[in-house]
Amino acid sequence: MSDSQKLIEQVHNLTLPEKLVDRLQWCRDILIAYHSLDLPELYAIEWLVALDSETDHYPTGQSREHFNKDVLNNLDDELLGTYESELIEFPKIRDRLLKELKELSS
């Protein structure tokens, strides 16, 4: 199986969350998988890297369990206030990533 096919499989296995704040963890999981493989730079990956870089101070996944609920709510509000349009774009970015990966594997 080629690296592009491996990432296609991982993208399909990671469900894109409905809750917008949870999409950051999806983004980070995809980037971890991408960086573990030998693939060229892709537009969709560059987009995800840029968003991850701008939002790396927001807690995701299990680290959220260690935050005070009020602080977490404030961070979530800040995240949505600043990056809601980008988080809404994730289905389009996922589709573009899959398209780019399929082109690589053909």
Number of domains forming the structure of the chain: 1
Distances 3 to 6, 34, 70, 101 between C-alpha atoms, Å:
5, 9, 42, 9
Q: What is the pLDDT of residues 56-97, one digit of tens each?
A: 999 999 999 999 999 999 999 999 999 999 999 999 999 999
> Which structural domain, as residue segments, surrounds residue 14?
3-105
Question: CA 15, CA 12: separation in Å to the nearest integer?
Answer: 7
- Contacts of residue 68, Cβ cutoff 8 Å, sequence gap at least 6: none
Q: What is the pLDDT of residues 39-58, one digit of tens each?
A: 999 999 999 999 999 999 99
